[in-house]
Chain A
Amino acid sequence: MTERARYLKSFAVELGVYGALVTVYFFLVLHFLARWIEHLYRTNTRGYAVAAILLIVGQGIVLEMLTSALLRFIRARKE
């Protein structure tokens, strides 16, 4: 198998694992978060603005750690 094919295979595996994790995340976190965040949007604009920043920053850091860890794990297995 060529190096490029090996990379493509590892990307496909990573994408599959990531897709499964994100689906769980959709149902467990975003589904329950939606009502609360919508209520906050309607009743407390300042609180909503702060929560919006914290949520996107938090998700940014967590997903970056997750994708980096997945890449490291797949590369370590390949070697």
Chain B
Amino acid sequence: MYFGISGEHISPIFLAAIGFLIGLMGGFFGVGGSFLAGPALFAYGVPMNFVVGTDLAHIVGKSIVAAKKHRALGNVDLKLGGIMVIGTITGVEAGAQLIQYLKRHAHIDLIVGSCFIVVLLSIAAFMMWESWRTLRMQNARIEEPAPATERHDESAFDHIAKWIQSLRIPPMVSLPVSGIAEISLWIIIAVAFMGGFFSGFLGGGAGYIRMPSLVYVLGIPTHVAVGTDLFEIMISAGYGTFTHALKGNVDIMIALVMHTGAAIGAQIGAILTQYFAGPRIRLAFVPLPIIGAGIVIYGLITGNHH
């Protein structure tokens, strides 16, 4: 099938299959899947600026439904999400402007590809460390059980979140839904800016940056962080799609075809979680971003990615 906007011939079956795989992982692992969608499109010969914009468009369709479901479960802190929108949109625009700058100066594939590789390998390393540590903690708890409260998660980074909450940079805001008495508005905006920047620069919703930041930097409980992150992904991917479309970086036909596979994959992935659970799933997830990084490296080495 010829996609006239990006000028590429891509098999719709390949796109639907990639979408299905991403949807399956989204439902199963709770991730957006841009770490695989981006490299797969890049490896097929789609220019990097179209990879970034098109991946954002494909994520909009998925995130709206997921955010709606989490809102119904009470997992979205709307006050936090509302404040974060300011930083998120500014960050997305900054990332998109950097893409425009790189597009004009012809280094885009190498620079964005290299950043992608660093981020993907960092995610894999962090998840391997985190899941391994959780498995060790679970093994220790078999001997000495220690129940956790619903609105507070145990974390090795608790002291960092508490120190950040104690910084008094006015104005201070309270987040009752997340159980935070006071935190500086500027810190929330800075975290949101960082997530938005990665979303605009590397494509996807950048949940891999924002969600851990919400938990480890701001001290938001995990289930609220997941719901609020999806709300932000909806905003950042929606705004990112619009601004990248204005800059000519979105092939919406590719996104629509990919999404046909993602929609069914997400449903099946969510149901499959009934059979598999726990940190072993996260450990099993580790090879996926490494595969994504391998695809990008292959694309960069071979030049035309095909």
Q: Which residues of A contact B (CB under 8 A)?
A: 4, 7, 11, 14-15, 18, 22, 25-26, 30, 33-35, 37-38, 41, 45-46, 48-53, 55-57, 59-61, 63-64, 66-68, 71
Contact = CB atoms under 8 A, between A and B. Distances in A.
Contacts of B260: 22, 25-26, 59, 63
Q: Is the interface of B mostly helix, strand, loop or mixed?
A: helix
B4 to A, nearest CB: 4
Contacts, number: 98
Given A34-B4, A64-B263, A51 B252 contact: yes
Interface of B: 3-5, 12, 16, 57-58, 60-62, 64-65, 238, 241-242, 245-246, 248, 250, 252-253, 255-257, 259-260, 263-264, 266-268, 271, 275
B49 to A, nearest CB: 14
Contacts of A48: 245, 252
A66 B267 CA distance: 11
Given A52-B250, A57-B64, A38 B259 contact: no
Nearest to A48: B245
B16 A22 contact: yes
A40 B21 CA distance: 31
A55 B245 contact: no
Nearest to B2: A34
Contact of A14 (B5, B242, B253, B264): B264
Nearest to B4: A38
Contacts of A26: 12, 257, 260
A30 B259 contact: no
Contacts of A52: 57, 241-242, 245, 250, 252, 255
